[in-house]
Structure 1
Amino acid sequence: MTANVKYADVEVGTEIPARTFAVDRADLVRYAGASGDFNPIHWRESVAKAVGLPNVIAHGMYTMAQGGRYVTDWVGDPGAVVDYGVRFSSPVVVPDEGGATLEISGKVEKKLDDNKVVVALTARSEGQKVLTRAKAVVKLA
């Protein structure tokens, strides 16, 4: 698969259109099965509240993965991401009724050699920033 976004077509400051991802408890159960992380704070409200959380929360790695998905969907090639890192600043709280939303936007922060760019991501849920220092290095066509 080749990248759809070309290095020559982006500049520092190029904004990537924001996307909203719905997150519900079924997503968390599927992620638990795929990742092997069955911590009950990610699916059982009574346990989450007993440890001081407001409700069930999404796995941090699930939230991070949605940021990666956002970048790979933009570039059109999952293999184009050569480096990716985040810090978790707040959990994504996922109520049973209605679930949650994760809003992700991005901007090209820097152009590097070899057709690579640094994309800075912003991820919010319910107006709260959930990822900080979220950056992906992406090799473009």
Structure 2
Amino acid sequence: MSPRHADVEVGTEIPERTFPVRRLDLIRYAGASGDFNPIHWNERFARSVGLPDVIAHGMFTMAEAARLLTDWTGDPGCVVDYAVRFSAPVVVPDDDEGAEITVGGTVKKKHDDGTVTVALTARSGGAKVLARSTAVVRLA
């Protein structure tokens, strides 16, 4: 059941979710977004520019974090405003496991217009990958 504005309070925790990231996901995202930068699909190139391996697109990482909110509310259009700072890349090895992004959230402010401000956390490979990540979310 979708959370209702009247039932959500400051401090409400949104349960963490873990989203898998495979190389195939990055290729699909590149096709959808038009971002074919080789750091997102070519291991040799990524290493040549100093990265440990292929990394996920920043916007892909943001989208996975926002997915926590759209799944929580049951509304794909619930995100009214969203801002993040990238703090580490999501490194995606070319193996059967790939990487994971673990996302959680906490309601930090409740607004009179039916929205709440949520602080998000996102980690991958033991590193915080999004910093100062906040979203304004419209609730039912």
Aligned counterpart, 2:38: 40
Which stretches of structure 1, 4 residues or more, deviate above 3 A after TM superposition? none
Aligned counterpart, 1:102: 101
- Distance in 1 separating the partners of 2:77 and 2:24: 27
Unpaired runs of 5+ in structure 1? Answer: none
Could you say what secondary structure the match of 2:59 adopts?
helix
Aligned counterpart, 2:22: 24
Aligned counterpart, 1:129: 128
> Does structure 1 residue 118 correspond to structure 2 residue 112?
no
Unpaired runs of 5+ in structure 2? Answer: none
What per-residue deviation string (whole Å, max 9, x for no partner) do you get for residues 21-56 of structure 1? 000000000000000000011001000000000000
Q: CA deviation at 1:81?
A: 1.1
- Distance in 1 separating the partners of 2:51 and 2:7: 44
> Does structure 1 residue 92 correspond to structure 2 residue 60?
no
Task: Quote the sequence identity (%).
Answer: 68
Alignment partner of 1:12 out of 10, 13, 32: 10
- How many residue pairs match? The answer is 139
- Distance in 2 separating the partners of 1:80 and 1:20: 20
User: Normalization by structure 2: what TM-score?
Assistant: 0.97
